Amino acid sequence: MHRLTLNEKKGALTQTTFAGGRQADKSKTDQGKTVALYSASVKPVSRSSGRSATAAAAYRNAERITDERTGVIHDYTRRSGVDYVEAFAPHGHAVQGSAELWNKAESAEVRKNARVAREVLVALPHELDQVQRRELAKSIAQGLADRYGTAGTLAVHHPDREGDNRNHHVHILLTTRRLDASGQLGEKTRELDDVKRGPEEVEWIRAMIEAQTNRSLERAGAEGRVDRRSLVEQRAAALHAGDMYRAAQLDRPATIHEGPRVTQIRRESARAGRAPLGALDRAAANDQSRQLVADRADLGTVSAQIIDFEKARALRDAREKVAETAADGMAAFKARFQQNQDFNARVDAERERMANELHRVAQERAALERQEKARAALKQIENDQLSRNNGIQRP
């Protein structure tokens, strides 16, 4: 029997291709909305790459598992950094122990290039506390088990002491076969390997993880939210919304997954106080990308200051223009008011003149009426006198 311990090269157990994962650094838009870390990948554990389900589970869970097919003992019980381990199964099925389940997964496959397990690696937001991260990991694992009918184990890991201290994450190992009613592994989950349905299922997994994570962040009262979309998609959405500052932040190349070997070289070089030896194209590309992001952040800060200055100057000019407009308006109002006063004065003078004229006309009419009455009275007297004179002369 062979015994594998922590002294074995880490890369031999974990060197795989990163598929579908994307990590966005925490950032803040000009509206103050933060974006939490998001990373999710789906990748197989295949015998063709020299791996086994028992070894993968033992390493991730910090357990001791004997591979009954090969007789190899995988002992990682001394490994640190594992916060929480739990086995899971679809609703209605009994949960099986790690050693039992992964030996079943190995014995169910006979091909030398068989895929014996499938791993979903998920970043857990550092905004959550320890209990909340565990609950999130369990909800994601249960969602996967219920959709595909598979069992598995999950292992929540602490951030690496020499890496990003926000890098809480969970390794979810799933069987590639569904559990039947008796608890045995039956048919393969072909939909995840299908050329057409596979990418659709991976997108469903990523969407489910996004929804579960944001639900956990909301329940925890955290401000941050995750976004599974690519940088290109997020930037297009920011441009459509008119958020130019956010669009500028997202105008950067995505980081490339370096893999455990490159990460190991980085750490060894940091401990030795020297630059990495040899050509590390992925590491160099990521360094350039990070520098580009930093330069653009500095440029964004300067641009924001310039924009603030321009806004302040525009506001000052607008206030001065308003003041000038107000002064002009007051002068025009005074002029119109004076014109109105002059017009009213002319109207009052005309009214007084017309009233005086009417009074004069009335006085003249009264005088004429008195004269007419006097003439009429005199005429009457004359007629009366004539009548008397005519009466005296008759015989």
- CATH number, domain with residue 77: 3.30.930.30
Averaged pLDDT, 13-36: 42
Does the pLDDT at position 19 exceed 60?
no
Does the pLDDT at position 143 exceed 80?
yes
Q: What is the pLDDT of residue 150?
A: 97
Residue 16 lies in a domain: yes
Does the pLDDT at position 145 exceed 60?
yes
Output the CA torsion sign for 58, 119, 36, 216. Answer: negative
Alpha-carbon torsion, ordered 270, 271, 274, 279, to 10 deg: -60
Q: What is the pLDDT of residue 369?
A: 87
- Residue 2 pLDDT class (50, 70, 90 cuts): very low
Does the pLDDT at position 368 exceed 80?
yes
Residue 99 lies in a domain: yes
- Residue 147 pLDDT class (50, 70, 90 cuts): very high
CA distances from 275 to 160, 184, 388 (A): 21, 51, 158
3-class DSSP state of 155:
strand
Closest CA to 216 of 133, 158, 120: 133
* Total domain count, the chain: 1
Residue 315 lies in a domain: no
What are the residues whose beta carbons fall under 8 Å from the beta carbon of 125, sequence distance 6 or more? 36, 37, 133, 136, 168, 213, 216, 217, 222, 224, 226
Q: Which residues pair with 157 in a beta bridge?
A: 82, 169
Does the pLDDT at position 22 exceed 50?
no
Does the pLDDT at position 94 exceed 50?
yes
Q: What is the pLDDT of residue 311?
A: 85
More confident residue, 241 or 200: 200
Tens of pLDDT, residue by residue over 319-343, are 888 888 888 888 888 888 898 888 8
3-class DSSP state of 157:
strand
The tokens for 251 are 């105008």
Q: What is the pLDDT of residue 10?
A: 34
Q: What is the pLDDT of residue 34?
A: 54
Residue 51 lies in a domain: yes
Q: Percent of the chain having pLDDT more than 90?
A: 43
Task: Taking each helix axis as running N to C, give the angle between helix 259-272 and helix 281-392, from 0 to 180 degrees, rounded to the nearest 10.
Answer: 100
What are the residues whose beta carbons fall under 8 Å from the beta carbon of 85, sequence distance 6 or more? 61, 62, 63, 98, 153, 154, 155, 156
Does the pLDDT at position 181 exceed 50?
yes
More confident residue, 175 or 322: 175
Q: Distance (Å, rounded) from C-alpha 120 to C-alpha 134?
A: 15
More confident residue, 219 or 286: 219
What are the residues whose beta carbons fall under 8 Å from the beta carbon of 117, sequence distance 6 or more? 44, 45, 53, 56, 57, 102, 105, 152, 173, 174, 175, 176
The tokens for 331 are 């002068």
Residue 304 lies in a domain: no
Owning domain of residue 45: 3-228
- Residue pair 185/102 in contact by the 8 Å Cβ criterion: no
More confident residue, 159 or 22: 159
Q: Distance (Å, rounded) from C-alpha 228 to C-alpha 217?
A: 15
- Residue pair 222/127 in contact by the 8 Å Cβ criterion: yes
Averaged pLDDT, 282-289: 58
Q: What is the pLDDT of residue 320?
A: 87
Residue 388 lies in a domain: no
Averaged pLDDT, 134-161: 95
Does the pLDDT at position 161 exceed 60?
yes
Tens of pLDDT, residue by residue over 51-68, are 999 999 999 999 999 999
Residue 294 lies in a domain: no
pTM of this structure: 0.60
Residue 72 lies in a domain: yes
